[in-house]
Chain A
């Protein structure tokens, strides 16, 4: 930590952000990234079919709805972690 940082370098976290909070941010970011990537090419190609019809939706639609719910659940955990009850 002793070497002088370039003050103009790209910087994601504020100085003094704890290691734990950096770790949680990175995990949350990766989790939400997965939720997003699941809805687009190329991952979406595995879900892009009509059957099986689940909860009244063709699989291609159910898949997206499923990842919306996963996004929501992830956000609930993240929020609760940050702000407690």
Chain B
């Protein structure tokens, strides 16, 4: 059999199993908003673990991750720190969000914020930033899927078709089953990714260099700066450290992760999934090995972007079609398991934090689920269009939003711990932070030191939040205290 036929069969078997799992999770359920968006707050620890982990293992895991190690060396260690520390704040905030969600009936992040500050405007701004960031995120996953589909089948499946097929599957189960389908397919996808990461991550260094130690020895001899941080290294200390810091503050602020507090059945479950989270960072170690193993192996000029390093190795180094197929399926699993959570998150955020908060206040429960489903269709189409046809003018807008998520951090902290914070303060801070981020993104302002743009935004954000809050009238005591005491 020709290679691409075998690869295609494996991909379709994987897609069929995923689809079946997703549809099965959706069967025989009454769809209330609480079920569709928050799985009726009933998910147990194993499912929660994979649901959370899937957002790390996006298309980035097998494309961007090895690409960073290959092209930027030690800078990629920041990814390990990011995975290990990213959810730690959640050990503190998560249970609070969960308790408030239970007692006040929230299913999204902005619901909590806008209720605390009694401000639909805040909800609308947060929803807007989140949805733009989400679309960027989905677009990246689709591009990854389309690329891998295309290379591993030797070009038989064109770009547009690859993205359409894989995303069609995601669309069907998110549309039908909501977060429960997302969760169950993520278990399956998570297992595939971990197996793939470890087998390739150990196999490649041994086959190509005689083991990781020998591999790093070689790199150290030819290019020692590649393995360290700092002025002679791969990334400046300031950029490296601030990137880790931003991810610690910002990671749990992603609305789809924040919403997990409303999916968990109990505080213990939520804390357990945070406790287990650093294991995902350990899974990233072999992923970086893959990228390092390509150094000196992938000839210069063979690839046009660092992200292509692993697909190139898998398809050009005489692997059996079986391995190529498993690689394709594993990468797609990684991309799809993030894409489904994000698509679902984007649709829920739009419906609840924008549509229901601003446009139609009195939407019935049933109608709300349908608006969410229609939003799934719209966001999928928008991301598909961007992935296939580009849309350069939009990219800066989306990237700016992507970098602005961390600006939710002060709002969440204020909601939970600072009763004196007021709505004008929260809005001023958020807008200020987002503005700084865009100014840096669009190169209107160049910061004096090489620190992550999110940190610059946070500085202005916190100052505005504090100053404007003190200048405005405190909110009703009993109301704000109910958040601090939750």
> A residues near B, CB below 8 A?
7-12, 14-15, 32, 35-36, 39-42, 44-45, 48-51, 53, 56-58, 60-61, 64-65, 67-69, 71-72, 75-76, 78-79, 82-83
Interface residues of B in 199-232 (CB under 8 A from A): 205, 211-213, 215-217, 220, 224, 227-230
How distant is the Cα of A76 from the Cα of B215 in the complex, in angstroms? 33
Complexed CA–CA distance, A49 and B230 (Å): 10
Q: Is B74 an interface residue (CB 8 A)?
A: yes
Q: CB distance A12 to B85 under 8 Å?
A: no
Give every chain A residue within 8 A of B216 (Cβ-Cβ).
Answer: 50, 53, 56-58
| Chain B residue nearest in CB terms to A83 | B268
User: Assuming the A-B contacts A71-B278, A72-B278, A79-B271, are A11 and B484 also in contact, with contact meaning beta carbons closer than 8 angstroms in the complex?
Assistant: yes
Contact between chains at B419 and A11 (CB < 8 Å) = yes
Set B77, B240, B484: member contacting A14, Cβ < 8 A: B484
List, in ascending order, chain B residues with CB within 8 A of A64's CB. 77, 80-81, 84
Within the complex, the shortest CB–CB distance from A49 to chain B, in Å, comes to 6
Which residues of the partner chain A approach B288 to less than 8 Å between Cβ atoms? 61
Known: A10-B420, A48-B229, A49-B228; 18 extra A-B contacts, CB below 8 A, are A7-B477, A7-B481, A8-B477, A10-B417, A11-B418, A11-B419, A12-B417, A35-B85, A36-B81, A42-B237, A44-B240, A48-B230, A56-B215, A58-B74, A60-B229, A68-B81, A68-B84, A79-B271
Instruction: Check A60/B77 contact, CB under 8 A, given A35-B85, A76-B275.
Output: yes
Which residues of chain A are near B227, meaning CB under 8 Å? 50, 58, 60-61
Whether A71 and B212, one on each chain, are in contact in the complex, defined by CB atoms closer than 8 angstroms, is: no
B61 on the interface (CB 8 Å rule)? no
Q: Are the C-beta atoms of A83 and B237 separated by less than 8 Å?
A: no
B390 within 8 A of A: no
Known contacts A8-B477, A50-B228, A56-B212; A72/B279 CB under 8 A? yes
Q: Check if B240 sits within 8 Å of A40, measured CB to CB.
A: yes
In the complex with contacts A67-B84, A71-B88, A40-B245 CB distance below 8 A: yes
By a CB distance below 8 angstroms, the chain A residues around B85 are 35-36, 39, 71
B230 adjacent to A75 (CB under 8 Å):
no
Could you give 13 example pairs across A and B, Cβ below 8 Å?
A40-B241, A41-B237, A48-B230, A56-B211, A56-B215, A57-B285, A58-B227, A64-B77, A68-B281, A71-B85, A71-B88, A72-B275, A78-B91
Contacts from B to A (Cβ < 8 Å): 74, 77, 80-81, 83-85, 88, 91, 205, 211-213, 215-217, 220, 224, 227-230, 233, 237-238, 240-241, 244-245, 248, 268, 271-272, 274-275, 278-279, 281-282, 285, 288-289, 417-420, 474, 477, 480-481, 484-486
Tell me the smallest distance from the CB of B318 to a CB of chain A, in Å: 25
Question: In whole angstroms, how far apart are the Cα atoms of A74 and B365 in the complex?
Answer: 43
Verify A68–B282 contact, CB threshold 8 A.
yes
What is the count of residue pairs linking A and B with beta-carbon distances less than 8 angstroms?
131
In the complex, which residues of chain B have a beta carbon less than 8 angstroms from the beta carbon of A53?
Answer: 213, 216-217
Residues of A within 8 A of B289 (CB): 56
**Chain A residues with CB below 8 A from B83, complex form:** 68
Which of these, B84, B88, B228, B417, contacts A11 with CB under 8 Å?
B417
Q: Which residues of B contact A45 (CB under 8 A)?
A: 230, 237
CB–CB B80/A56 < 8 A: no
**Contact across chains for B230 and A65 when beta carbons are under 8 A apart:** no
Q: If the complex has contacts A12-B417, A15-B485, A35-B85, are A56 and B237 also in contact, measured as CB distance less than 8 A?
A: no
Q: A8-B474, A53-B217 are in contact. Are A48 and B228 (CB under 8 A)?
A: yes
Q: What residue in chain B is nearest A28 (Cβ atoms)?
A: B91
